[in-house]
Amino acid sequence: MTNKRYLSNKKTSQQTISISPSLKDWIRRYVSIMHKKKPEDEDYKSISAFYCNVMEKVLKIFELGKDLKDFENFHDREIQKLYPDEGRFSLPFVEASVIMSSFMPIDFFFEKPFFFNMANLVLKNIDSYSMDSIKNLFSRIRNRLVQNNLIKDARWDIIPKKGKKGFNGVLEYSGNYKFTHINNIKFNIALMGLMGLKITDFHYSGEDKYVRIKFTTDNVLFSNEEAIEARTELAKNNQDYVINLFRVMEHGTPHLWQRLSNNDHILISFRNEEDFDECLLKLEVDLKKYGFEEDFGLYLLRFFEQIHWIKIVDESELAFQFLISEDNHRTERELLLSYFSKRFKVSEKAQIFSLQSNLS
């Protein structure tokens, strides 16, 4: 092989090749589009520059022992930001860690930077009137998910609406790990919502780790690209197909209790005083063994707040007020006050209760 250092880099020679008119037009359009996106990039200054750059990089790749089939496995840096390599080789451990998050909503507020990365990816790559742009983004995401072993494969059909703008579609794919697959589905249909695609039907088989999603274009797809609020709402509505209470009930008690725990109108009670004492004894043992003595009272209050009996008013003063009424929950109130009275001095003023150490 000729060593490149003995050859001139000056582009004076010409090489004539024969290509089809369609390929020539494809290259011309691609270079034109990329030049508009990246006007300072020398690779897209002209078709000649593009040819030279592509051929040089391809030869370097071939010299590394790769061939054309390896092109399909190259990393897509833009998609990789959303689907990083972390956990790729430890998916069984990832699976165990995501079980309890599977049916919880994606928090678009607290994950704002990540959400806007998703939104920017969509707005940058989707042409509202081009089914090909949707297919292309689907393909890029599919390739990344297959590379990461998150899915086995995927297929989709996109069909234009008769006499109308937009299209309908069907997406199918299977996963390798049950709960990782559920989280992946939840993420992907939220991403579809950001694209402007509305879920119309959803079939999921946990046993087969298979999902079939029907979707249609929503008006937001054709709206101003700044319509982030509408796209976010569509993303949230889409994810409800995964995290609705019917789906939660299918997967057992822990998931249902986790969802209910966020509802302040629901409380956890005890069948009798013995069960109450047993639960609080276990809590006391763990607080004393693993916590700090000065935080003992505060963490006891936090326990009752988390089962929705009370609301802490002032943590430093160990002050709280009841959320449960005396008329409907007299037993619970008496259990709590009796419990604290054995361990603290309990005072009350204007329905606000405070705890003080018996040692003070």
Mean pLDDT of 119-147: 77
Cβ neighbours of residue 35 closer than 8 Å, sequence gap 6 or more = 41, 44, 45
Q: What is the number of H-type helices and E-type strands within the chain?
A: 13, 8
Name the burial class of residue 77, with classes exposed (0-12), middle (13-18) and buried (19+) by CB atoms within 10 angstroms of its CB: exposed
**Cα gap 319→352, rounded to integer Å:** 7
DSSP string, 103-123: TSPP-TTTTHHHHHHHHHHHH
Average pLDDT of span 247-256: 81
Confidence of residue 110 (pLDDT cuts 50, 70, 90): very low
Q: What is the mean pLDDT of residues 175-202?
A: 89
Region 228-232 average pLDDT = 83
Query: How far is C-alpha 172 from the geometric centre of its chain's CA atoms?
Result: 19
Strand order in the sheet with 310-314: 310-314, 319-322, 352-357, 344-349
User: What local confidence, expressed as pLDDT, does residue 139 receive?
Assistant: 83
pLDDT of residue 39: 84
Share of the chain above pLDDT 70, in %: 83
Banded pLDDT at 163 (limits 50, 70, 90): confident
| Domains in the chain: boundaries | 4-72, 77-253, 273-357
Give the pLDDT score at 296: 93
Give the H or E element holding residue 186: helix 178-195
Across all residues in the chain, what is the average pLDDT?
82
Of the candidate ranges 88-102, 145-159, 220-234, the one whose mean pLDDT is the lowest:
88-102
pLDDT at residue 137 tops 60 = yes
- Residue 179 and residue 205 in contact, taking contact as beta carbons nearer than 8 Å: no
Q: What confidence score (pLDDT) does residue 35 get?
A: 85
Question: CA angle 42-45-50, nearest 5°?
Answer: 80
What is the distance between the alpha carbons of residues 285 and 271, in angstroms, rounded to a whole number? Answer: 22
Q: Of 10-14, 95-99, 195-199, 325-329, which gets the smallest average pLDDT?
A: 10-14
Kind and range of the H or E element at 48?
helix 47-63
Separation between Cα atoms, residue 68 and residue 101, nearest integer Å? 40
pLDDT of residue 275 exceeding 80, the answer is: yes
**What's the CA gap between 150 and 337, in Å, rounded?**
51
Report which DSSP code applies to 153.
E
pLDDT at 45: 85
What pTM was estimated for this model as a whole? 0.64
